[in-house]
Chains A and B, each alone.
Chain A
Amino acid sequence: MIKYLLSAGDLTRDQTIEILDIAEGMADVNEREIKKLPTLRGKTVVNLFFEDSTRTRISFELAAKRLSADVINFSAKGSSVSKGESLKDTAQTLEAMGADAVVIRHPASGTANVLAHSNWINGAIVNAGDGTHEHPTQALLDAFTMRKRIHGSNSKGKALDGLKVAIVGDVLHSRVARSNLLLLNTLGAEVHFVAPPTLLPANPSNWKATLHFSLDETLQVEKPDVVMMLRVQAERMNASFFPSEREYARIWGFNADRLKTLKPSAFLMHPGPMNRGLEIDAISADSPQSTVLEQVANGVSVRMAVLYSLLSGERAADVK
């Protein structure tokens, strides 16, 4: 099948549905008493994290361990990277040690792509977030969560045709928004971006999405099935994008009043980590309509499916 997962746009509709269906099976495993499969025994997965992360790294680690792979966690802090080692040398070191898959997160956009096309490393590459570019496994787990909320146990084989998804907030810095846009388009959903003009890219005209500049108006007029709040990425903001946090929370934040305007079947997503009180308030974050914790739980299943898809059948071509 595929050897690299660099962008949510690389996946065809059939491949996406196949991965989500495999994740469905993995979710069953995660409910069992013995949450372990022998599938990737003897394989080594390296988590190469040049940027801080809690859930993505733990989620990948857990996913690899549940499939019986050996996991090495590498974070830039406390490694030779802080002595000035280049990405190339780091990658070749991992290759020399026999890594079968590398899960990489890096603050620079395109790093996973460089790693995949440089021949420094032979294993499978998974992009776990590169700068403000993409985060494909997040998009997959979001799609999985939507499918599960809508279809329940009959999710297998289904896409997201006609679903109306509003993605709200810091679109400019959000790799989650970009990956979700591509994957939701592939699955047939309708994407609406809602953000202040300062937090949209300079030229979003080639995006297959509708842009809105008022959250309340969008909720009223479009009546979205899914509202996805994005984290305000203060660490990437090198200029002033909005006047004050209080104003942002008032105009763009999701709160109890806005929660009441949602359709009863609609739900609220957030990729985490949440800035409570900024883009989302505690009442809506902890409401039954919020899927935040489901997204985390589903993340493990989806990443198991991704690792399985990348690492099984890798020698198929040699044998035949």
Chain B
Amino acid sequence: MPARTVLSSDDIDRAVTRIAHEILEANTALQKSGTSNLIILGIPTRGVLLAERIAKVIARNEPGTDLSQLLGRLDITMYRDDLAINPTRQVTETLIPNQGIDDKVVVLVDDVLFSGRTIRAALDALNDFGRPRAVKLAVLVDRGHRELPIRADFVGKNLPTAREERIRVQLTESDLENSVVIES
């Protein structure tokens, strides 16, 4: 299987830092209260790791940020629309900062945006936790081929792909290296 690296470790770091700053900028335009009304939720598996990295950059740049109130994770397994046609999936933990998401600006973080169905499920899941003031979406890679009217607000890299190609995101927290690879 021919594989081509499209983002190196440095590229990923730069993208994460830029996304974090863009989130901060958009948040300041939307609300004056610093990061106290901002919540970053990672979608398992790689989204959680990216969300951690983004939240750390935000905490570094915005003194007085409480990381435990900023960062969480959202498991969307039970909200998927393909449960009946795919093998049973393992459910992982959901962690919402204990301030809750009511009236907060929530940024969902995922590694790859493809059909948009994961994000649709995430929006449904959020619904069960409260009513956020706004929901934004940050992804490391947008590869196109959307099947739902969903768009990312913060994108690491737009990557035109063929539908059969596979995008593999590797992060050191769970894999051997930091890279984004296209396999065809």
B88 within 8 A of A: yes
Which one of B23-31, B56-64, B77-85, B153-161 is at the interface?
B77-85
B79 — which chain A residues lie within 8 A by C-beta?
37-39
Q: Check A36–B86 contact: CB distance below 8 A.
A: no
Question: Which of A18, A21, A32, A38 interacts with B124 by CB under 8 Å?
Answer: A38
A29 to B128, CA, bound (A): 10
Known pairs A308-B78, A319-B85; A22 contacts B91 (CB<8 A): yes
Cβ of B87 and Cβ of A316 under 8 Å apart? yes
Q: A36-B128, A37-B78, A38-B78 known; A1 and B90 CB under 8 Å? A: no
Interface pair B91/A314, CB less than 8 Å apart? no
Residue B94 is within 8 A (CB to CB) of chain A in the complex: yes
When distances are taken between beta carbons in the complex, the residues of chain A under 8 Å from B32 are none
Contact string against B for A residues 16-56, beta-carbon threshold 8 Å, 1 for contact and 0 otherwise: 00100110111011001010111100000000000000000
Cα separation A308 to B83 with both chains bound (whole Å): 9
Task: Give the number of chain A interface residues (Cβ < 8 Å).
Answer: 26
* Given contact pairs A34-B128, A39-B78, A39-B83, A312 touches B89 in the complex (Cβ within 8 A): yes
B22 to chain A, nearest CB (A): 31
Which single residue of chain B is at the shortest CB-CB distance from A318? B85
Question: Closest CB of chain A to B133's CB: distance in Å?
Answer: 18
CB < 8 Å neighbour of A312 from B84, B124, B128, B129: B84
**Chain B interface residue count, Cβ-Cβ cutoff 8 angstroms:** 19
Q: A32-B128, A32-B129 are in contact. Are A313 and B87 (CB under 8 A)?
A: yes
Which residues of A270-320 are within 8 A (CB) of B? 308-309, 312-316, 318-319
Q: By DSSP majority rule, is chain B's interface helix, strand, loop, or mixed? A: loop
Q: Which of A26, A34, A38, A318 contacts B91 (CB 8 A)?
A: A26
- Asked if B75 lies at the interface with its beta carbon under 8 angstroms from chain A, I say yes
Say yes or no: is B93 at the interface (Cβ < 8 Å to chain A).
yes
B92 at interface (Cβ–Cβ under 8 A)?
Answer: yes
A313 to B84, CA, bound (A): 4
B93 contacts which of A28, A313, A315, A318 (Cβ < 8 Å)?
A: A28
Structural contact, A25 and B91, CB atoms closer than 8 A = yes
Indicate if the CB atoms of B83 and A312 lie closer than 8 Å: yes
* Residues of the B chain whose Cβ atoms lie less than 8 Å from the Cβ of A37: 78-79, 128
On chain A, the residues within 8 Å of B94 by CB distance are 25, 28
Residues 67-111 of B contacting A (Cβ, < 8 Å) = 75, 77-79, 83-94
Measured CB to CB, the closest approach of chain B to A70, in angstroms, equals 15
Residues of A contacting B85 with CB < 8 Å?
Answer: 313, 315-316, 318-319
A residues with CB within 8 A of B = 1, 18, 21-22, 24-26, 28-29, 32, 34, 36-39, 67, 156, 308-309, 312-316, 318-319
Contacts A309-B88, A316-B85 known; 13 new A-B pairs at CB < 8 A? A21-B90, A22-B91, A26-B91, A34-B129, A37-B79, A38-B78, A308-B88, A312-B84, A313-B83, A313-B85, A313-B88, A314-B84, A315-B84
A-B contact pairs, 24 of them (CB 8 A): A1-B87, A21-B91, A24-B91, A25-B77, A25-B78, A25-B91, A26-B91, A32-B129, A34-B128, A34-B129, A36-B128, A37-B79, A38-B78, A39-B78, A39-B83, A308-B91, A312-B84, A312-B86, A312-B88, A313-B84, A313-B87, A313-B88, A314-B84, A316-B87
